[in-house]
Amino acid sequence: MNKKTILVTGGAGFIGSHVVRRLVTRYPDYTIVNLDKLTYAGNLENISDIENKPNYKFVKGDIVDADFIQELFSREKLTDVIHLAAESHVDRSISNPLEFIRTNILGTVNLLNAAKFSWNCRLGTESSDTESPRRNLFYHISTDEVYGSLGPSGLFTENSPYDPHSPYSASKASSDHLVRAYADTFGLPAVISNCSNNYGPFQFPEKLIPLALNNIRQNKPIPIYGKGENIRDWLFVEDHTLAIDLIFHKGKRSETYNIGGHNEWKNIDLILLLCGIMDRHLKRTAGTSEKLITYVTDRSGHDLRYAIDSSKIDRELGWKPSVKFEEGLEKTVRWYLDNESWLSNITTGNYKMYYEKQYANR
């Protein structure tokens, strides 16, 4: 197996932590450098189980700092990038768009510039020849939200036009365009995937499923935006992680792959299902948790429906979602109930102390 030094950005976040764990444990010949700013969403407890592995290194830093990023590329002799670091929550992008522009757009450009410079990318050279074996790869992790909103029917394909509506999705769309521009203009070896809604262990309790689960646990209201009729296509995070591993190793450069769960749920139906599972786990009388459902003012510009056609990654790389929704939701509920200290460390803010406690003297 080739020796590689892979920069994973955002590896202390939800999906990034699953990606780091998989790469560190499955590929001992790779060195994984996890770069994360540790914003409110970054939590080193998410990857405490692998922090002492010899092929793993954590670096605290901001992708918006161009000099630092260039210096990191030179110092670590990075061969590849899997870029997940982002501001990821739509509601926060409505209240503070600028932070999304900085991290998701400027931060991505800084990484692209450093990769282009370090890997000596120029059109017409061997590095830009799509037929020669790939020495480097810039893998950009993106979202289905770049395609906008669907009506009651139809699916997003890789050829769907971009039509983002929120500052979050507009910033991700912009970063996708920049990655393609660097591939086309400078011959940067790059690949992009656009995925639907993930759920599973270690998701920050601001997103629908862990927020509802946490509120049910504490007998607090479950806020449902609008009438709860918006539809999302849910995918268990480990299925996404597996797809990322496959695309990283087998994906064709300059290609885009859509990843989805073939698993569409109206928000209200999903919450009713979750309430039933929680009643069972918490030994409450059936119907208790759903009384917590509270309809609140809708999200501004709320996209009605997302649904992904993932036939390309199935056909070309043999990937399909493997975890059924009821099974994934059961696993997720079990994990959150078994790891109440993970949740309470977030609520109290103690999770922010982890870096100082574990890394300050390294």
CB of 274 to ligand DAU, least distance (A): 12
Give the span between the Cα atoms of 303 and 358, in whole angstroms: 41
Catalytically annotated residue among 45, 62, 145, 176: 145
Considering the candidates 168, 182, 199, 306, report the single residue annotated as catalytic: 168
Binding characters for ligand NAD, 49-68, by CB under 6 A (x = yes): -------------xxx----
Interface pattern 21-40 for ligand NAD (x via CB under 6 A): ---------------xxxx-
Question: Is 127 a binder of ligand NAD (CB under 6 A)?
Answer: no
Residues 6+ away with beta carbon under 8 Å from 252 = 130, 191, 316
CA distances from 304 to 163, 165, 300 (A): 13, 11, 11
Instruction: Kindly report the backbone phi and psi dihedral angles of residue 137, in degrees, each rounded to the nearest multiple of 5, phi listed first.
Output: -150, 135
**Closest separation between CB of residue 306 and ligand DAU, Å?**
5
Active site residue 168: yes
Of ligand NAD, ligand DAU, none, which one does residue 14 interact with (CB within 5 to 8 Å by kind)?
Answer: ligand NAD
* Cβ atoms of 264 and 154 closer than 8 Å: no
Q: What is the phi/psi pair of residue 33, to 5°?
A: -105, 115
CB nearer ligand NAD, residue 85 or residue 247: 85
Least Cβ distance, residue 325 to ligand DAU (angstroms): 14
Q: Which two tokens stand for residue 197?
A: 């809604």
Tell whether residue 78 is a contact of ligand NAD (CB under 6 A).
no
70 forms part of the interface with ligand NAD (CB under 6 A): no
Q: Please report how close the Cβ of residue 77 comes to ligand DAU at its closest, in angstroms.
A: 31
* Per-residue CA distances from 115 to 44, 52, 130, 190 (Å): 26, 27, 17, 10
Binding residues vs ligand DAU (CB under 6 A): 88-90, 143-145, 196-197, 207-208, 211, 223-225, 230, 232, 267, 299, 306
What is 254-319 written as a DSSP string? T-EEEE--S-EEEHHHHHHHHHHHHHHHTTPPTTTGGGGEEEEPPPTT---B--B--HHHHHHH--
How far is 345 from 96, CA to CA, in rounded Å?
Answer: 25
232 binds ligand NAD (CB under 6 A): no
**Residues within the interface to ligand NAD (CB under 6 A):** 9-10, 12-16, 36-39, 41-42, 62-64, 84-88, 103, 107, 141, 143, 172, 195, 197-198, 204
List, by residue number, the catalytic residues: 144-145, 168
